[in-house]
Amino acid sequence: MLTFTPIYAALLAILYVLLSLKVISQRRIGKISYGDGGNTDMLKAMRTHSNFIEYTPLALLLILMVELQAGSGLLVNLLGLSLLVGRVLHAYGFGRSPQIIILRQIGMLLTFTAILVAALANLVLVL
């Protein structure tokens, strides 16, 4: 039975909905039905949302596989926390005007760390 990954998946899903609502809000404010309409706030909301969905599914899948292969609970939680905190920091730092570059960078570092460590853990666990 899965213990940890569903918690991180649920929390990340909530963040995804919040980012989606930000896109919808920007569409309403700017009266933009398609694309970014040349509006930088719309583009920023879209890219924050897109960046989240570009990285999160693969990372969650890798974390899930670590847990399914009986990886330690500590490892799964560290991976999940790294991904969750990384995605929150990146979204917050990227979505601000002006951007908070250091938060964006730390967010990506944590996200990449979660992906790479989970990938390596899967290789070790399967061999």
CATH of the domain at 15: 1.20.120.550
Three-state SS string over 5-41 comes to: HHHHHHHHHHHHHHHHHHHHHHHHHHCCCCCCCCCHH
> Is the pLDDT reported for residue 125 higher than 90?
yes
Per-residue confidence band for 1, with pLDDT thresholds at 50, 70 and 90: confident
* Interaxial angle between packed helices 40-68 and 101-126, expressed in degrees from 0 to 180 and rounded to the nearest 10: 20
The count of structural domains within the chain is 1
Q: What pLDDT sits at residue 113?
A: 98
pLDDT digits 0-9 by tens, 26-81:
999 999 999 989 999 999 999 999 999 999 999 999 999 999 999 899 999 999 99
Read off the pLDDT of each residue in 86-108 and give the average, rounded to a whole number. Answer: 96
Owning domain of residue 120: 5-126
Mean pLDDT of the residues in the chain: 96
